[in-house]
Amino acid sequence: MAANIARVNAHDAPAVPPALTQLADDERLLLDSVYEFASREIRPLVRGMDEHGAIAPGLIAKLFEIGVMGIEIPESYGGGGARFFHSILAVEALSRVDPSIGVLVDVQNTLVVNALLRWGTDEQKARYLPRLAGDTVGAYALSEAGSGSDAFALTTRAIEKDGHWVLSGRKLWITNANEANVFIVFATINPEAGYRGITAFLVERGTTGFSIGKKEDKLGIRASSTCELLFDGCAVPAANVLGEVGRGYKTAIETLNEGRIGIGAQMVGLAQGALDHAVGYTKERRQFGHPLAEFQAVQHQLARAAMDVHTARVLVYEAARLRDAQRPFLTEAAMCKLFASEAAERVSSLAVNLFGGNGFVKDYPVEKLYRDAKIGQIYEGTSNLQLQTIAKQLLS
């Protein structure tokens, strides 16, 4: 694992939850180290970032410094040379403190870096992987106004001209857009060909004809930027096609299946963070002369929340380990994303309830986690799409 991550005072990290006792030593070290970093460096910034809808200056540089922005990038390119499972652990640990930072790191690793590792040419890897490991944020641009769940109904066009591809169109809801300098953009070279016309392109910020549009004002994960991308005659070199022309649908499908495990990890971290707050508060808050934690009704609610978190974590870890073992994981990815997102909403809602009136105000942390949880059932495949995926595999 990257030495930078190991330097983050792992000996001061809290005891790991029971579900994590079977982690290998390097996995446990990474989880504890990243969580300790998040508690020290990110937690004091969470409320301000949420209110301003932006990541605090200097924080992204620190994420690169500890090595979590290029976990799977080979060491020869300056990365950690670790496994997909390590990326999942980092996303979980960060999201336990702030899911906005968790998704920044998730998109970087499970979508952008993974797509380049699998589909990039040697020249593309040499050009982009050292940057993504060192100081450059990436973004993944698939969604459009008319192609959310129906991802392949996209209308952004790519026309070949004079050795370049010229992109025209508009992307919506692109995570990391404000911070990114490298974008994987999906466009169709032939609308009549349906999904077989879709092609992936590597587009850099500053390319003529490419601009960042409106930043969305969101319910939750507000520090994470979500913006539209505008392409108006944007000329992209032919060497920047990622994968094969007309085979971008394969790049999108396979990468998103991995990305869903990342969102599952984000939701596990969020749920664990909400449970942490709820347990701590009920031990301190007194009613009728006793701490809330002494009331059986409260104990039973916390017990069910703990089962939710544990089950979600097991599903996420199983899917991630299957992926690393190069075994089929489509169903498991859908299951973990679906269950973890629903569990995160339940556990964060319970935390708000147990905090009482304090849970409804911004002076306490749980109302933010409750707002953050909602997106888990929407992005990278809605809950209905995950159910459809599971059912299709079950009945095939």
Question: Phi/psi at 83 (nearest 5 deg)?
Answer: -105, 165
* In contact, 353 and 359? CB cutoff 8 Å: yes
Could you tell me which residues come within 8 angstroms of residue 395 by beta carbon, excluding any fewer than 6 positions away?
A: none
Give catalytic status of residue 318 as yes or no.
Answer: no
Alpha helices in 8-142 (DSSP H): 25-37, 46-52, 59-66, 84-95, 99-106, 114-119, 122-134
Alpha helices in 286-382 (DSSP H): 296-324, 330-355, 366-373
Which of 41, 228, 258, 380 is the catalytic position? 380
Question: Phi/psi at 139 (nearest 5 deg)?
Answer: -140, 160
* In contact, 228 and 174? CB cutoff 8 Å: yes
Amino acid in position 158: A
Phi/psi zone of residue 103: left (φ > 0), alpha (ψ -120 to 50 degrees), beta?
A: alpha
Neighbours of 15 (CB within 10 A): 8
The residues that are catalytic are: 380
